[in-house]
Structure 1
């Protein structure tokens, strides 16, 4: 059972993050310290430096040879189920699109395991649950955040084609991508993309209803996504962190102190900077609930009801029982993760929804997880 000391530990983990967020909010809204361009620069620093080093820290310090495979399988199956359902929905529904697929996947399956999960679950179920939360964080960094980046870049490639060839996209039969095209994905860069068409260039009012053939799209997207991912620090931090953990825990190799301290300087500030970026984003919005009340309520329902329900089904399917099943469900009911917001802001895909999920999710997370904890214990 959670004691007052456990509750204090949870507050100790949460309150400093809210301090960082409030300071950032005030620095824009009240004190006018940062401009919108400077806020974007801070978020980019978080996405390209603080978050990758934070991911490296947790991946490299986790023992990959002692992971609970059944628990990991349940978490993986939950995310696969959600992805499959969202993919079917995006194909069959008129409202379905890649942007909402990315957002709903983030909201339903990527909780705030690091900040809330570790102290809260330790208080509920003991020290062993903290190790399980670290394992979830490691998989998020290695697999699911990388998958999100891939989907973001896939979306960027599609938008680039539709904007570069608005009148002739459907007739393109081949595309050559120059290396310069990946320098800028805000679609202001028009250089380095050439196409061959079945027909001559057509100028008119009617827009094509089809994208280029699948083979052309696939080749372009894979080229552009690959070039972006290999230049993204998050990719290298996950890969290097995994390799280091495999080596260090296999042969008991210690990281040189000078390297470890260099990494810790930024990794320790990763979550704080992410919350600071969140506060900056809030201050630039006309209202705190940036996405609106109805969408906020919908996202909260997806986060705290759909996510745990799918996790419960996935956990039972892989054979989790007893305390492990309870831990899996409660961690799925944690609030929205901070890192997905950083990515959403960087790629401008529903950052208002993700910011609302982080802010209000963390406010109501404790009573909600306590309800799950009590119900599962009956």
Structure 2
């Protein structure tokens, strides 16, 4: 049963993040401290330094040999099912596109497990659920955030190649009688060029290294009980501790630069909230039952899927300029309405 202290613990985890967001909003909208170029630089710092080190910190502290693979399988299957459905939608329908595929995948499968999930689920289902949330965060960082980065980079490379070889553009250079036409190369050549560009981008992205190195360190440290030297752990924690706060600060800066707080419009915001709080829980309920989860584990899986939108996907969306207005609205209003929604799920599942 959730007590008043449990509610306070959840608010104690959320309110400091809103303080960072409000200060950032005021520094641009009211006090004119930062320019738009400086705001972009801050978001760049968050994407390149704060988020990778935050991911490494949590991945390296998780014991990979004591994970609940049954629970992780249900969570992973939810993401695979939604990703497959979105891929078919963007590949075979005229309304589908890669940008919306990335955004809908983020909205439906990547909740704010770290900030709200751990304190809220511990209040509802005990300390063991907190450990499960950490495991979900690890999988998010190692697999799903890396996959999102791949899709972002694939989109960027595809746009760049298409600009260089527009399918319908024909450049005619007259030399005597030497018309020469430049057309898009064959699909196989296009695909190879795009994948090469994506690979080169990913191997230079700090988020890729943070996930891989964090997993390697956790495998080694928990296998042979090796502790990280204090100098190294202190160097990492000094920036990783600022990761979530800086992500919310970046979110506040983005809000202040928009003409409206609901940057994406009311209808799109309503749609995003429906995807976040209805689609995700519905799909994970089905995949969890298919995997064989029952009882408390099933309830935890559904409630964690009904958490608000994660902050890190917004940072990526802003960095790659793919629907940051939608993701910012989902984070802000998702965190405002998440508590009553998750409590409602908790009560209904307990009936």
TM-score range (shorter-chain normalised) is over 0.9
CA contact (8 A) 1:118 1:129 kept: yes
Looking at structure 2, the residues matched to 213 and 326 of structure 1 have their Cα atoms a distance apart, in angstroms, of 50
2:154 alignment counterpart? 154
CA shift digits 1:138-177 (9 cap, x unpaired)? 0000000000000001000110012122366799xxxxxx
Q: SS of the residue aligned with 1:52?
A: helix
Which residue of the partner structure matches residue 328 of structure 1? 301
Shift of 1:222: 1.2
Are the equivalent residues in 1 in contact too, given 2:165–2:185 (CA < 8 A)?
Answer: no
- 1:349 maps to which residue? 322
The match for 1:36 is 36
Task: Find the aligned partners of 2:90 and 2:254 in 1 and give their Cα distance.
Answer: 28
> Using the alignment, how far apart are the partners of 1:234 and 1:279 within structure 2?
22
Which runs of at least 4 in structure 1 moved beyond 2 Å after TM superposition? 165-171, 199-202, 211-214
* CA–CA separation in structure 2 for the residues paired with 1:99 and 1:301: 19
Which deviates more, 95-104 or 84-93? 84-93
Scaled by the length of structure 2, the TM-score of the pair is: 0.96
User: What's 1:361 paired with?
Assistant: 334
2:114–2:133 CA contact under 8 A, matched in 1: yes
Q: Secondary structure at the match of 1:281?
A: helix
Q: What is the rounded CA distance, in whole Å, between the counterparts of 2:282 and 2:170 in structure 1?
A: 41
Q: Match of 1:228?
A: 201
- 1:72-111 to structure 2, matched below 5 A, reads 72-111=72-111
Return the alpha-carbon distance in structure 2 between the equivalents of residues 364 and 96 of structure 1: 29
Distance 2:94 2:202 in 1: 30
Q: 2:12 aligns to what?
A: 12
Q: Normalising by structure 1, report the TM-score.
A: 0.89
Question: Is there any run of 5+ residues in structure 1 with no aligned partner, and where?
Answer: 172-198, 203-207
What corresponds to 2:269 in structure 1?
Answer: 296
Contact 1:162 1:169 in 2 (8 A): no
Answer yes or no: is the 8 Å Cα contact 1:170–1:212 preserved in 2: no
The corresponding residue for 2:291 is 318
In the alignment, is the contact (CA less than 8 A) between 1:161 and 1:169 conserved in 2?
no
2:180: which partner in 1?
200
Residues 108 and 279 in structure 2, CA contact (< 8 A), matched pair in contact too: yes
Identify unmatched segments of 5+ residues in structure 2: 172-178
CA distance in 1 between counterparts of 2:170 and 2:89 reads 24
Cα deviations by residue, 1:88-108 (Å, 9 ceiling, x for unpaired): 111222110000000000000
Aligned twin of 1:240: 213
The aligned residue for residue 222 of structure 2 is 249
Distance in 2 (CA, whole Å) between partners of 1:170 and 1:234 is: 39
Aligned to 2:175: none
The alpha carbon displacement at 1:60 in A equals 0.1
* Cα distance change of structure 1 residues 345 and 339 upon mapping to structure 2, 3 Å threshold: same
* SS in structure 1 of the partner of residue 31 of structure 2: coil
Change (3 A) 1:116 1:201: same
How far apart, CA to CA, are the structure 2 residues paired with 1:298 and 1:329? 20
- Once the two structures are TM-superposed, the CA of residue 299 in structure 1 deviates from its matched residue by 0.4
Over aligned residues, Cα RMSD in angstroms? Answer: 1.4
Quote the Cα distance in structure 2 between the aligned partners of 1:215 and 1:170.
Answer: 21
Distance in 2, matches of 1:369 and 1:298, equals 18
Superposed displacement of residue 218, structure 1: 1.6
Counterparts of 1:7 and 1:262 in 2: how far apart (Å)? 33
Alpha-carbon displacement from aligned partner over 1:59-96 (angstroms, at most 9, x marks no partner): 00000000000100001000000011101111222110
Equivalent in 244, 249, 252 of residue 276 of structure 1: 249
Deviates more, 1:27-36 or 1:160-169: 160-169
Offset from partner CA, 1:205-258 (integer Å, 9 cap, x none): xxx8xx643211221111101100000000000010000000000000000000
Question: 2:136 & 2:10 partners in 1: Cα distance?
Answer: 19
Q: How far does the alpha carbon of each residue in 1:94-127 deviate from its partner, in whole angstroms, 9 at most, with x for none? A: 1100000000000000000000000000000000
CA distance in 1 between counterparts of 2:188 and 2:66 reads 42
CA distance in 1, matches of 2:307, 2:45: 26
After superposition, the Cα gap between the structure-2 partners of 1:36 and 1:63, relative to the gap in structure 1 and judged at 3 Å, is same
